[in-house]
Amino acid sequence: MELFECSAADLARAVREGAHSVAEIVEVHLGRMDRLEPVLSAIVTPLKDEARARAAALDIALARGENPGPLTGVPVIVKDNFCTRRIRTTCSSRMLENWIPPYDATVVSYLERAGAVLIGKANMDEFAMGSSTEHSAFFTTSNPWDPSRVPGGSSGGSAASCAAGYAPLTFGSDTGGSIRQPAAFCGIYGFKPTYGMVSRYGVVPFASSLDQIGPFARTLEDLLLAMEVIAEADEKDATCSRALRPDFRKALDVTDLKGKRVGLVREFEGYDIDGPIVDALARARAALLDAGATVVDVSLPTVSHGLACYYIIAPAEASSNLARFDGVRYGLSAEADSLIDLYHRTRKAGFGPEVKRRLLTGTYVLSSGYYDAYYNKALKVVAILRDEFARAFGEADVILAPTTPTLPFRKGENIGDPIKMYMSDLFTLPANMAGLPALSLNGGYSDGLPVGIQLIGPRWGEMEIFSAAAVLEKALGAPRLAGGDL
Amino acid sequence: MALTFQTVIGLEIHVQLATKSKLFCACSTDYIGARPNSNVCPVCLGQPGSLPVVNGRAVELAVMVGLALGSTVQQATRFHRKNYFYPDLSKDYQISQYDLPICAGGRLSFRDDDGVEVSVAITRAHLEEDAGKLVHPSADGRLAGARYSLVDYNRSGVPLLEIVSEPDITSPAHARRYTEEIRRLVRCLGVSDGDMESGSLRVDANISQKVSDGRWGSRVEIKNMNSLRSLERALEYEVKRQRKVLGEGGEIRQETRHWDDGEGKTRPMRGKEEAHDYRYFPDPDLPPLIVESDRLKGIAAVMPELPWQAESRLVSAYGLSDDDAKIFAESADTVAYLDGCIRAGADPKRAANWIRTEVLRVLNEQKIDLATFTLEASDLASLLALVDGGKLSTTAAKDVFDVMVRDGVALEPAMTASGVTAGLVEGSQLEDIADKILAENEEAVEAVRSGRDPKGKKVKFLQGLIMRETRGQADVAQVEDLLRRRLI
Amino acid sequence: MAVGEKEVRHVAQLARLEVDDGEVAALVEHFNTILGHFERLKEVDTSSVADVLDNAVVTPWRDDEVRIWENRDEALAQAPDRDGDYFRVPQILEEA
Ligand SMILES: [Mg+2]
Ligand SMILES: [Zn+2]
């Protein structure tokens, strides 16, 4: 087995036991990146020199008998909206093409503290607005299972690079499905934690009330290992919980689901879902029943309004979050003789068409006379949806649902039709609006393409999801490494 | 029939709260004289990805003001974003409060210059962050004509409490008094230094006129009044201007005007005419702000005495005059000093008198405050006890006081240093002094003895010299008696 | 409610986002499509939702302590235009 096929847990073990040096592990993963990157275009900024220097430093520390942490020697990649001090952070936007942050995101420092080696920054839809990485200002990432298809988005670069073995662990942000949808399209695990589980400090926001940071992995064990490193309180984020986190890896010991109730959402049945996804859901359902769970119907009557609420709330918050890109303090700054021209020209040149569309929509729904009809109304509908979820989780311990309505689509297929593109978030965004944890996992393959399915848990119900996932991994197998024939 | 007018004024006062760190980050609030952009961090520089965390002390200070004004301190409030583009705003939005301010309602009462009781309703007081500072390097330092402007974010994020009054104020003089009262309050609470010149207390005024024929003039907002005097002048100017326009049948434009202190005029502000659409919405980075009832009780328990409470106590408990009480209540320190003197046994009126004349004089001369004043209240009390007991004349006591302050010493060494002993100069000591004075003033002595002092002027002169020599420590009757015997 | 060119231009002005004449037509169409989708929200009865103040999470109170940030030079180095320690912006003129 090649080192790039290994799990993070195995790599960390090998490093601890002295079987491999960090330098060796990092070199192999950089080699994998070099070989596949011409096809995949998953990385905006590779960090070869930085990674090699870091590997050398870790090897010296290990030789001295130090153990820097649970991810020592594990190569990781973060989405390019995670601030990294002295390393440019672009959000895949012209606006920040040359921006070098003066500080690290909290998650980045937690990873560093755990001994991980950052080897690259991943491509994404510009400012996380999109579902395919086709809205990156730089290039579109390819799906490692079929390069003519998209890897999903907005964390498409993170998903593709994990699936293809650049790194066993990568990280993204999820506002309406931006971790889970690309995880489904790339055939790996992608987890969006409960809102407030992971610090958002230093991750350039899209929509602050919906954004949550989470990991991609090819084994459940790796996913939980990553969660143990990043899910910690942070006094710099007022929305990040002060509570203690559970011992996530305990879920790996779960072998049966006796007494557990798996909910199926009645309203989701009316949607047009690709056949292989329906089949994968059936396989998962059978595996869960086999493990002793019961299956119940739950109802979310308001869920069909989720899409409208999402496309009001997220752009509204984004219009305010992205106001600061004005050419004064950092980033792109257009030539101008007056302040007003500086603003208009900088923002015209710096933002791509999808970002512009959303900023304008967001500005409109907050503007005088429309606030109550749109933004406030959407918040109230979301409050109802939260109550419906709370009721559903009185009847079920975890919900099984599709991640996406379709398998990975072809590049260009939806680019001209924003509304159709928005539809791919249909099943993922309810969890964001209700602040719930949700996992996309691989449910099998169809004609060489991975098929994703989703588990949604109650607030702080991570362990319910991970327990079910442990059973499913045993029954259905762990994800396969992508990119074998590239 | 001639038209009459009624002035309607509402004030918005921004008070900088005296916290050590900023409202949403741990940077220092001490920006005056600091190197530009030195007290900054990712949060107050609006760096992408940075997030605000509320300074609990700022919340406490806001609650104190709310309690003092009789506001309802709201248990559950939140922060909104006020969205507008301006370079002094590092995020291009200001975090403020909108539908749920921390303090709702309230009232401030005071006496006007004629002693008439005035009461102004408070609409609300809310927390918000200050903006950075713009420097306009044009020839005259103004915005107009500057080719570019410079931005310093040291002030960005300093906590402000915006206190909004109802339009209950009916004259520029009352607007000034109201502002004085707010300033006195925030100083007494230790909530702010309340300094208008340096901008830690900033007043914006809304002023309009109601005309006797039923017309209402539009509301005009006045900005840039940097002292109580300019506040009153600006409003007086605006009253005249608006009445003139309305009197001639014209209309008042609803606008923002800028007070020019040098010219003594208000002028329409340039570049601010665009109708604002701030797109307020709840800041998703900040969950609701909850002031738990225990916390509220804790703050209420440590509230200092309010200036108007102190004022009435000084009158009722110590018998001070209204004027004296008002002067004392200007600062909590002065009240505490007076209380300390009286607790140490001083007579209230004498102590008040001494503090007013002597202590405040020294503070003024030395440009210090009571916190750094060396003379303890109890030391002043023991000095005054000697005066009360007839052991020290006022004149001698003042000499001793000066030495105590100058040398920072206690009563005894100060008396030794100034050559004063407690008790009267009498007997042979007084006789020696009298003889010395008479010997030095032979001419006067001769005149008296030869009957050339019919009105007793020369005797008074000699008596005065003796009293001065004894630093007032002689009994006047004894001196008169002694002189009578010596001059026969 | 139908959105026209005028509204799109007004919103673009509020967002400080210059739009070309060529972009306006497409934006008008996009706005009307998406707002059409939003119309369906009116079907949801939200009269039972009194206030959306969600007290499940409350904002923490930070202690009033000063901490000096060491990287300010790195932040200033990112300024597109500077004058010494200051950020510099072009003249602030009246708006149209
Ligand atoms: Mg204000
Ligand atoms: Zn700061």
Q: Is residue A85 part of a domain?
A: yes
Catalytic residue among A41, A161, A178, A467: A178
- Same-domain status, B218 and B86: yes
Q: Is residue A298 part of a domain?
A: no
The reported pLDDT for the residue numbered B273 is: 47
Strand partners of residue A43: A122
Q: How confident is the model at residue B94 (pLDDT cuts 50, 70, 90)?
A: very high
Q: How far apart are CA B77 and CA B420, in angstroms?
A: 64
The predicted-structure confidence for B317-326, as pLDDT tens digits, reads as follows: 999 998 889 8
Q: Which of A96, A363, A459 should we substitute to test contact with C (largest number of C Cβ atoms within 10 Å)? A: A363
Find chains touching chain C: ≥3 CB pairs under 8 Å.
Answer: A, B
- Same-domain status, B289 and B204: yes
CATH, residue A56: 3.90.1300.10
For residue B38, the CA-to-ligand 2 centroid distance in Å is 10
| Inter-helix orientation angle A48-63/A22-40, to 10° | 160
Q: Is residue B191 part of a domain?
A: yes
- Same-domain status, B234 and B315: no
The reported pLDDT for the residue numbered B72 is: 97
At B348, give phi and psi (nearest 5°): -55, -50
Residue C62 CB-half CA count within 13 A: 24
- Same-domain status, A157 and A76: yes
Told to judge if A178 belongs to the known catalytic residues of this protein, a careful annotator would answer yes
Number of domains in chain B: 3
Q: Is residue B406 part of a domain?
A: yes
- Same-domain status, B142 and B258: yes
Query: Given a cut of 80, is residue B15 above it in pLDDT?
Result: yes
- Please report the DSSP string for B173-208 in residue order: HHHHHHHHHHHHHHHHTTS----TTTTSEEEEEEEE
Q: Is residue A416 part of a domain?
A: no
The predicted-structure confidence for C1-56, as pLDDT tens digits, reads as follows: 589 999 999 999 999 999 999 899 999 999 999 999 999 999 999 998 876 566 67
Residue A468, by phi and psi: left (phi above 0), alpha (psi -120 to 50) or beta? alpha
**Which of B162-176, B187-201, B392-406 is modeled with the greatest confidence?**
B162-176
Instruction: Tell me the pLDDT of chain A (486 aa) as tens digits.
Output: 899 999 999 999 999 999 999 999 999 999 999 999 999 999 999 999 999 999 999 999 999 999 889 999 999 999 999 999 999 999 999 999 999 999 999 999 999 999 999 999 999 999 999 999 999 999 999 999 999 999 999 999 999 999 999 999 999 999 999 999 999 999 999 999 999 999 999 999 999 999 999 999 999 999 999 999 999 999 999 999 999 999 999 999 999 999 999 999 999 988 899 999 999 999 999 999 999 999 999 999 999 999 999 999 999 999 999 999 999 999 999 999 999 999 999 999 999 999 999 999 999 999 988 999 999 999 999 999 999 999 999 999 999 999 999 999 999 998 877 777 777 888 999 999 999 999 999 999 999 999 999 999 999 999 999 999 999 999 999 999 998 777
Q: How far apart are CA A411 and CA A407, in angstroms?
A: 13
- Same-domain status, B109 and B215: yes
Q: How many residues does chain A have?
A: 486
B418, B449, B468: which is the final residue of a domain? B418
Q: How confident is the model at residue B270 (pLDDT cuts 50, 70, 90)?
A: low
Q: Is the dihedral of CA B181, B182, B183, B187 positive or negative?
A: positive
Structural domains of chain C in order of their starting residue, each with its CATH number: 5-41 (1.10.20)
- Of B364, B370, B374, B366, nearest to B335 by C-alpha is B370
Q: Is residue A287 part of a domain?
A: no
Average pLDDT over residues B50-73: 98
- Same-domain status, B178 and B39: yes
Q: Is residue B472 part of a domain?
A: yes
B390, B418, B446: which is the final residue of a domain? B418
Mean pLDDT lowest for which of A392-406, B46-60, B110-124, C42-56? Answer: C42-56
- Same-domain status, B264 and B331: no
* Inter-residue contact B224 to B199 (CB < 8 Å): no
Q: Which of C57, C64, C72, C94 should we substitute to test contact with B (largest number of B Cβ atoms within 10 Å)? A: C64
DSSP annotation of A82 = B
Longest Cα–Cα distance of chain B, Å, equals 101
Q: Is residue B389 part of a domain?
A: yes
Is C16–A347 a contact, with Cβ atoms under 8 angstroms apart? yes
The reported pLDDT for the residue numbered A165 is: 98
Higher pLDDT pick, B136 / A428: A428
A355, A378, A401: which is the final residue of a domain? A378
At A215, give phi and psi (nearest 5°): -100, 160
Is C72–B37 a contact, with Cβ atoms under 8 angstroms apart? yes
- Same-domain status, B87 and B133: yes
Strand pairing of B201-211 and B220-225? Answer: antiparallel
- Same-domain status, A212 and A92: yes
Q: How far apart are CA A24 and CA B37, in angstroms?
A: 44
- Same-domain status, B206 and B326: no
DSSP annotation of B219 = P
Average pLDDT over residues B243-269: 94
The reported pLDDT for the residue numbered C27 is: 94
Coil/strand/helix, residue A45: strand
Lookup: tokens for B465 = 């010299």
Helical segments of B189-306, H only: 228-247, 293-301
Query: Given a cut of 50, is residue B159 above it in pLDDT?
Result: yes
The reported pLDDT for the residue numbered A20 is: 98
Number of domains in chain A: 2
- Same-domain status, B314 and B213: no
Q: Is residue A236 part of a domain?
A: yes
Residue A205 CB-half CA count within 13 A: 30
The predicted-structure confidence for B196-246, as pLDDT tens digits, reads as follows: 999 999 999 999 999 999 999 999 999 999 999 999 999 999 999 999 999
- Same-domain status, A342 and A471: no
Q: How far apart are CA B145 and CA B34, in angstroms?
A: 27
Coil/strand/helix, residue A5: helix
- Of B131, B81, B78, nearest to B279 by C-alpha is B81
B418, B437, B463: which is the final residue of a domain? B418
Q: Is residue B15 part of a domain?
A: yes
Strand pairing of A261-265 and A294-298? Answer: parallel
- Same-domain status, B10 and B76: yes
Q: Is residue B300 part of a domain?
A: no
Q: Which residue of C has its CA nearest to B45?
A: C75
Is B26–C90 a contact, with Cβ atoms under 8 angstroms apart? no
- Same-domain status, B15 and B89: yes
Is B285–A238 a contact, with Cβ atoms under 8 angstroms apart? yes
The reported pLDDT for the residue numbered B115 is: 87
A330, A345, A378: which is the final residue of a domain? A378
Radius of gyration of chain C (CA): 23
This prediction has a pTM of 0.90
Is C66–B271 a contact, with Cβ atoms under 8 angstroms apart? no
Q: Is residue A208 part of a domain?
A: yes
Task: Look up the domain containing B433 and give its range.
Answer: 427-486
For residue B43, the CA-to-ligand 2 centroid distance in Å is 5
Which chain B residues are within 8 Å of C67, Cβ to Cβ?
Answer: 21, 26-27, 41
- Of A22, A91, A78, nearest to A47 by C-alpha is A78
DSSP annotation of A294 = E
Contact residues, B window 60-119, toward C, CB-based 8 Å cutoff: 76, 78, 85, 87, 100
Q: How far apart are CA B367 and CA A420, in angstroms?
A: 73
Which chain C residues are within 8 Å of A365, Cβ to Cβ?
Answer: 38
Catalytic residue among A7, A41, A79, A173: A79
The reported pLDDT for the residue numbered C95 is: 40
Which residues have C-beta within 8 Å of that of residue A366, sequence separation ≥ 6? Answer: A316, A319, A320, A374, A375, B83, B279, B280, B281
The reported pLDDT for the residue numbered B433 is: 84
Is B288–C14 a contact, with Cβ atoms under 8 angstroms apart? no
Query: Given a cut of 80, is residue B447 above it in pLDDT?
Result: yes
Q: Is residue B264 part of a domain?
A: yes
- Closest Cα in chain A, distance from residue C16 (Å): 5
DSSP annotation of A4 = G
Query: Given a cut of 70, is residue B8 above it in pLDDT?
Result: yes
Q: Is residue A417 part of a domain?
A: no
Coil/strand/helix, residue A36: helix
- Of B135, B134, B142, B72, nearest to B100 by C-alpha is B72
Coil/strand/helix, residue B288: coil
Q: Is residue A485 part of a domain?
A: no
CATH, residue B445: 1.10.10.410
User: Exposed e or buried b for every residue in A299-310, given b needs 16+ CB within 10 A?
Assistant: ebebbbbbbbbb
Average pLDDT over residues B259-282: 84
Q: Is residue B299 part of a domain?
A: no
Q: How confident is the model at residue B139 (pLDDT cuts 50, 70, 90)?
A: low
For residue C83, the CA-to-ligand 1 centroid distance in Å is 29
Task: Look up the domain containing A310 and give its range.
Answer: 304-378
The reported pLDDT for the residue numbered C83 is: 96
Q: How confident is the model at residue B424 (pLDDT cuts 50, 70, 90)?
A: confident
Helical segments of C5-71, H only: 5-14, 21-39
A363, A378, A393: which is the final residue of a domain? A378
